[in-house]
């Protein structure tokens, strides 16, 4: 960046230095108090001097709303970037990122996050702590699973996951009530119903715990060792609404399909408390028609109505 | 306006001229696909002429009507943000011409699924269309998916559909199941349409 930039253009609001071969952006940025949009795509940024030191204390940290660093050489999200607390839109598409830092949650004003076309293998659950996130692009990466916490992104309208390594999705994804667009093509999503037959029978402790919980057997902390009191507090509800049971450690992990508006079948991880909860499947039918799966789809179909448009393969 | 007598090789020198010639061609009973494709390709994209129609949406690609061809055709501009793509779709027995005005678009062709489709759809071919190139497709050729695979550049394309249609089928790549959808315009004649 030319020296004296902030002296000549103190009121600069939008700066586009895309496609200029920039390898670093220096201290000239720090004295631009009105800058709200910085476009620096298709450059050679990514090394140590890419962003100036002291970014967190500069006026830019509060004024910058839009930052586009796509098409550069970042192999990690520069920590300085996470100090830009006013940032609403961030693009790091087409870089060399292998991960997303958990501290991404510090960009609490973020509404638009584009991370497509990198080498990301996992999503930190902290990403879900961005309350205003509406558009999340993670396509063309190497992501193998989505953390269920992502369902906490209540503002999410569009989620782009195409061309990754996903074999299933967490059922919590149905909780994203405002989601209108979801792209999933180019993932090795399990098509056929897969049943995990390696079911470990529950322990006596587990069976006793289930009985205490489902029969509402009263107990006080003085009745039990502290470890068991704690154990009982960790009961999870069986997601099958017709069951109403609880489970602790034993569950059958099944890949199930949810039919979104009759158009698409998504495999979801359902944690059920026993194989009996999957009774529609125990009767031998090999095909995965909607009739045989209707029971467990009840809860899903309610949520499915909310997800109207699914952009898929 | 160039108008050779026998071999209709048009050269549209502006978007306005392109529309004018299209009206002329489609006023006839018979329209040649090659003629239209050559005409579309002859227009050298000039953003000044179409910027008013190129309205982008953050979340997905947009369809912006430019001209409704006296009912004979629809000419529209599609705006694709980074990573935006379409589903696999058919063209409801119409002709579809797609010309790149800016950026690049990847077109993946698919075979029609079997009647009782329950398997992965078959990819026929794929290609990346460059600026000013014009592709053509109709239902007898197959189905396609169009996407902007760039993570840094938006793309803009000019589409001609004849006859015009507002519904089509989208297909699930993994099963071949189809679903009828109604298409809408993000803007018409440069004005944002509120739906």
Which of A195, A224, A256 is where one domain is finished? Answer: A195
CA distance A223 to chain B (A): 55
Measured between CB atoms, which of B88, B120, B151 is closest to A93?
A: B151
Residue A221 half-sphere exposure toward CB, CA atoms < 13 A: 3
When pLDDT is cut at 50, 70 and 90, the band that residue A241 belongs to is: low
A218 and A186 in a common domain: no
Residue A295 in domain: no
Average pLDDT, chain A: 80
**pLDDT in the model for residue A277:** 60
B134 forms bridges with which residues in the sheet? B99
- A137 CB neighbours in chain B (<8 A) are 82-83
Q: How many domains does chain A have?
A: 2
ipTM of the complex: 0.88
CA-to-CA distance for A249 and A208, rounded, in angstroms? 13
Say what the pLDDT of residue A289 is. 36
Say if A184 falls within a structural domain: yes
Candidates A41, A93, A112; nearest CB to B58: A112
Q: How far is B66 from chain A (nearest CA, A)?
A: 25
What pLDDT digit, counting tens, does each position of B21-50 carry? Answer: 999 999 998 999 999 999 999 999 999 999
DSSP notation for B53-122: G----SSS-EEEEEE-GGGS-EEEEEEE-TT-B--EE--TT-EEEEEEEES-EEEEEEPPPPTT--SPPP
Instruction: Locate the DSSP E strands across chain A.
Output: 14-16, 37-39, 66-68, 89-91, 112-114, 135-137, 158-160, 169-170, 181-183, 194-195, 236-237, 246-247, 252-260, 264-272
Residues facing residue B125 across a β-bridge: B109
pLDDT tops 80 at residue A117: yes
May I ask the CATH class of domain B15-185? mainly beta
Question: Per-residue pLDDT for A251 more than 80?
Answer: no
Q: Flag whether A303 is in a domain.
A: no
CA nearest to A289, candidates A277, A278, A297, A301: A297
Residue A165 forms part of a structural domain: yes
Shared-domain flag, residues A73 and A212: no
- pLDDT digits 0-9 by tens, A195-237: 444 456 778 988 898 899 888 999 998 999 998 988 888 787 7
Q: Is B159 assigned a ligand-binding role in the annotation?
A: no
Query: Cis link prior to B163 (omega < 30° from 0)?
Result: yes
Residue A280 in domain: no
The domain segmentation of chain B, as residue ranges, is: 15-185
CATH number of residue A176's parent domain: 3.80.10.10
What pLDDT score was predicted for residue A199? 56
Asked if A189's CB is within 8 angstroms of B82's CB, the reply is: no
| pLDDT tier for residue A75 given thresholds of 50, 70 and 90 | very high
Q: Which B residues, 73 through 102, put their C-beta within 8 Å of a C-beta on chain A? A: 82-83, 85-88
Among residues A111, A113, A56, the alpha carbon closest in space to that of A85 is found at: A56
**Is A212 found in the same domain as A119?**
no
Token pair in block for residue A93: 């598409």
- Using pLDDT thresholds of 50, 70 and 90, give the confidence band for residue A185: confident
Domain that holds residue A40: 5-195
Same domain, A87 and A127: yes
Q: Three-state SS string across A211-250, please?
A: HHHHCCCCCCCCCCCHHHHHHHCCCEECCCCCCCCEECCC
Rounded CA-CA distance B155/B82 in Å is 8
Whether pLDDT at B6 is above 60: no
In-domain check, residue A243: yes
What average pLDDT does this structure show over A173-186?
Answer: 80
φ, ψ (nearest 5 deg) of residue A211? -65, -45
Cβ of residue B123 closer than 8 Å to a chain A Cβ: no
pTM of the model: 0.80
Q: For residue A246, what are the contacts with CB-CB under 8 A and spacing of at least 6?
A: A209, A210, A213, A214, A235, A236, A237, A238, A273
User: Measured between alpha carbons, how far is A41 from A18 in angstroms, rounded to an integer?
Assistant: 5
Whether residues A107 and A211 fall in one domain: no
Whether residue A83 sits in one domain with residue A158: yes
The angle formed by the CA atoms of residues A95, A184 and A88, to the nearest 5 degrees, is 50
Could you give the CA distance from residue A133 to residue A77 in angstroms, rounded to a whole number? 18
- Taken in order B56, B13, B68, B171, the sign of the CA dihedral is negative
Tell me phi and psi for residue A255, to 5 degrees.
Answer: -90, 115
User: Which of A72, A161, A148, A146 minimizes the C-alpha distance to A116?
Assistant: A161
The answer to whether A312 contacts B172, with C-beta atoms less than 8 Å apart, is yes
Considering the domain architecture, whether residues A9 and A104 belong to the same structural domain is answered as yes
Q: Which residues pair with A292 in a beta bridge?
A: none
Contact residues, chain A, for B179 at CB < 8 Å: 262-263
Residue A269 has pLDDT above 70, yes or no: no
* Burial classification of residue A232, based on how many CB atoms lie within 10 Å of its CB (0-12 exposed, 13-18 middle, 19 or more buried): middle
Q: A237 and A119 share a domain?
A: no
A142 CB near a chain B CB, below 8 Å? no
Q: Is the pLDDT of residue B133 over 90?
A: yes
Answer whether B85's CB lies under 8 Å from B147's CB.
yes
Contact B60 A181 (CB under 8 A): yes
Q: Establish if A147 belongs to a structural domain.
A: yes
For helices B33-42 and B15-27, what crossing angle results, to 10°?
A: 170
Assigned token pair, B86: 């379409």
Cα distances (angstroms) measured from residue A162 to each of A6, A45, B79, B85: 41, 26, 19, 10
- The reply to whether B159 touches chain A by the CB within 8 Å rule is no
């Amino acid at each position: 960046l030319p020296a004296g930039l902030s002296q000549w253009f103190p009121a600069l609001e939008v700066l586009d230095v895309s496609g200029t071969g920039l390898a670093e952006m220096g201290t000239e940025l720090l004295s631009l108090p009105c800058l709200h949009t910085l476009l620096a795509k298709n450059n050679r940024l990514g090394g140590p001097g890419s962003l100036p030191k002291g970014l967190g204390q500069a006026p830019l940290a509060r004024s910058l709303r839009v930052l586009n660093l796509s098409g550069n050489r970042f192999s990690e999200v520069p920590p300085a970037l996470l100090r830009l607390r006013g940032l609403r839109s961030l693009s790091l598409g087409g870089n060399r990122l292998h991960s997303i830092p958990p501290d991404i949650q510090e960009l609490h004003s973020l509404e638009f996050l584009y991370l497509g076309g990198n080498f990301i293998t996992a999503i930190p659950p902290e990403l879900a702590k961005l309350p205003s996130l509406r558009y999340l692009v993670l396509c063309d990466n190497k992501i193998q699973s989505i953390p269920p916490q992502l369902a906490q992104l209540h503002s999410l309208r569009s989620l782009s996951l195409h061309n990754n390594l996903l074999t299933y999705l967490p059922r919590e994804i149905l909780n994203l009530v405002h989601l209108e667009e979801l792209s999933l093509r180019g993932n090795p999503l399990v098509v056929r119903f897969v049943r995990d037959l390696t079911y470990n029978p529950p322990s006596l402790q587990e069976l006793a715990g289930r009985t205490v919980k489902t029969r509402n057997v009263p107990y006080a902390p003085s009745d039990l060792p502290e470890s068991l009191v704690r154990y009982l507090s960790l009961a999870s509800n069986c997601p099958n609404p017709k069951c109403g049971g609880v489970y602790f450690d034993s569950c059958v992990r099944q890949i199930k399909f949810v039919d979104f508006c009759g158009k698409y079948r998504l495999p979801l991880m359902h944690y059920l408390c026993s194989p009996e909860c999957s009774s529609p499947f125990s009767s031998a039918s090999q095909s995965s028609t909607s009739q045989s799966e209707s029971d467990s789809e009840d809860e899903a179909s309610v949520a499915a109505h909310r997800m109207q448009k699914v952009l898929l393969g | 306006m160039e108008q050779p007598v026998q071999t209709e090789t048009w050269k549209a020198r502006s978007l306005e001229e392109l529309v004018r010639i299209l009206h002329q061609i489609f006023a006839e009973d018979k329209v040649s696909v090659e003629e239209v494709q050559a005409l579309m390709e002859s227009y050298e994209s000039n953003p000044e002429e179409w910027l008013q129609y190129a309205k982008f949406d953050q979340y997905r690609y947009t369809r912006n009507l430019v001209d409704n061809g006296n009912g004979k055709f629809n000419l529209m501009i599609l705006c694709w943000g980074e990573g935006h793509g379409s589903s696999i779709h058919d063209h409801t027995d119409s002709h579809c011409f797609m010309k790149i005005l800016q950026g690049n678009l990847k077109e993946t062709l698919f075979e029609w699924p079997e009647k009782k489709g329950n398997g992965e759809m078959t990819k026929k071919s794929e290609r990346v269309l460059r600026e000013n190139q014009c592709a053509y497709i109709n239902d007898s050729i197959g189905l396609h998916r169009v996407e902007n695979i760039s993570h840094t550049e938006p793309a803009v394309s000019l589409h001609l559909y004849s006859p015009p249609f507002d519904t089509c089928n989208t297909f699930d790549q993994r099963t071949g199941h189809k679903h009828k959808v109604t298409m809408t315009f993000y803007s018409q004649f440069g004005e944002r349409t509120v739906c």
